[in-house]
Chains A and B, each alone.
Chain A
Amino acid sequence: MAKIAVQFTLNGSERAEFVESGSTLLSVLRDKMGDTSPKAGCRQGSCGACSVIVDGELTLACLTLAETSNGKDVRTAAGLSSGDVLHPLQRAFEEEFAAQCGFCTPGMIMAATVLLERNPNPSREDVIEAISGNICRCTGYEPIIRAVLAAARSNSVAA
């Protein structure tokens, strides 16, 4: 199979790879670029575990052909922390026990990131809607909802 070039910004760094034609963004991120924060869950668009942010929009990496991301800005959960300093959402997930097995966590945090970028003071209903495409089989969602609301509060205190 022909190899094709993909080139995009990943968490602020220019990245380029030759990949098999038809590769999904998820497989390029995980297998070629070593960013395993987006998870391969259902590969059907049902679970949200592969959620990343492409040009500011929440995107399912498992349903995105990598070459359609050429020239775009791709952000993953791996790019949120600054060294050892966690992002407020990561800290809130830790403090609220919003991660149990952790498989859904990067996707949840990406969905919450887009929400808080657009709506710094979300209601509980806004949070539920924002994470409605992400499935969690451990927490029952309540700790995740609390964590996103707590991160929003800590952001508004910081600002």
Chain B
Amino acid sequence: MANQFDKVITVEEALAHFHDGMTLIAGGFGGVGNPPTLIQGILDKGIKDITLISNDTAFPHIGVGKLVTERRVKKVIASHIGSNPNAGAQMTAGELEVEFCPQGILAERVRAGGVGLGGILSDIGIGTIAEKGKEKVLVGGKEYLLETPLTAQVAIVHAKKADRFGNLVYDTSARNFNPLVAMAGDITIVEADEIVEIGALDPEEIVTPGVFVNYIVKSEGVNWQWAWEK
């Protein structure tokens, strides 16, 4: 068993957990909160045929968008792909399978997987094509859709600060899906901008308890230009 009280490893060591055909879940929203160093590692190692669970496919040269642009993803489960034209083009060409899920339901499906629930019931999308193929459940006479939980072989998370146990603090709106994703990996790997000693974080400020985290790598920072910078 790895040292529970020092989960910090190198990016190279982290990449040993990634393989072709894997399921991968990533925190982030439009690239904000996608972990840049781990994504670059996946690209450099040549990992392909990924099933990616992520809110969106970011932008062509930002975050998880790069994995799509470089054709490493065979299927994506997301709420939105509109900001990455490569995703749409690959979908239209039959090269990328896309399963759309309403954003809040995606968040709850990831949360359900991460917290050990068998699914959730919701009325979102009733009367639309979003209900296609979903089991309907009556509760107190009201109709709900059964939404199944999501987990993945590896979860990748971005945090502003991690202590060596994996207690996490996030960065403003880069939090988004990250705390949910952190719970939903068979193996959860955190990329942190700053790694501190155990005890350095105020327990009141910790959003994700370190028990959900398997490994921590030090971020080398964002290696792309944001869309708004142009």
Query: Do they bind each other?
Result: no
User: Which A positions have Cβ atoms within 8 angstroms of B?
Assistant: none
Instruction: Give B contacts to A, CB under 8 Å.
Output: none
